[in-house]
Amino acid sequence: MAKPSGVAVHHGWSREGEAALELLRDHLGQYVFPVHRLDRPTSGVLLFALDSEGARVLHELFEEGGVEKRYLALVRGVAPEAGTIDHPIPRREDGPRVPATTEFRRLWRGEHVSLVEARPKTGRLHQVRRHMKHISHPLIGDANYGKGAVNRDYRERIGLERLALHAAELSFTDPWSGEPLRITAPVPSDLRGPLERLGVPAEILT
C-alpha cells in the first residue's frame, strides 16, 4: 500500500490515530502482516503479507539486504552530487549502535536546499534522517533532527506541513516465482505540491 504521512504502521509503534495495518485489513476484509516499517511521518511504499509465513520470508529478505529501497528526501543546503554514508546508528530506540550504510545522489538543487535520492542498504531506525543529518544536510520538516525555525519557514513559504521524506520504490526478486518485482508509490500531493512550488521539475517526481 502507499502509506500517507502521519499514519503509523500499526499501534504497536504508535497508539495515536489510524494505523496502516487496520486500514488495509478493513479494506481487504482479512488480516494482514506487516513486513517492514516506515516512520509515521514518512509516506510511501509499505509492504504487507497475507499470512505469517509469507511475512517471515519477506522479512528475512529485508534483513539479508535483498530489497532495494529508494527514497526521495528534501534536505537543507546543497548536498554533494553523490556519496555513501557509512555511520553506525541504533537499530531501534535506545539500542546499541550497529553498522549502517546509505547511498545517495542529488537530483536537484535550489537555493539552500536539495532533493536527493537515498538508497539505504541497511534497515535502521530513522536511517535516512539520521544519515543526512550526519553529513550536515538534515531533512526539511524533520522535528527530530532538523531545526524548528527552518521547518516553520518552509511551512509558511511553500505549505510543507510534513516531513519531506517519501519511500518511492521497493525492488526485489520474488522469493516464490523468481521474477523481479518493482513496487512504486507516487509522490503524494502534500509533498508534490510544495516541491513543485520550490521549482523541482515534475519529471523528477514521477
Active site residues: 39
Q: Which three cell numbers stand for residue 94?
A: 535506545
Instruction: Please return the burial class of 176, using the count of CB atoms within 10 Å of its CB with bins 0-12, 13-18 and 19+.
Output: exposed
The Cα–Cα gap between 159 and 168 comes to 21
Phi, psi of 147 (to 5 degrees): -120, 130
With beta carbons less than 8 A apart as the criterion, state whether 127 and 71 touch.
no
Q: Which three cell numbers stand for residue 63?
A: 534483513
Amino acid identity, position 11: H
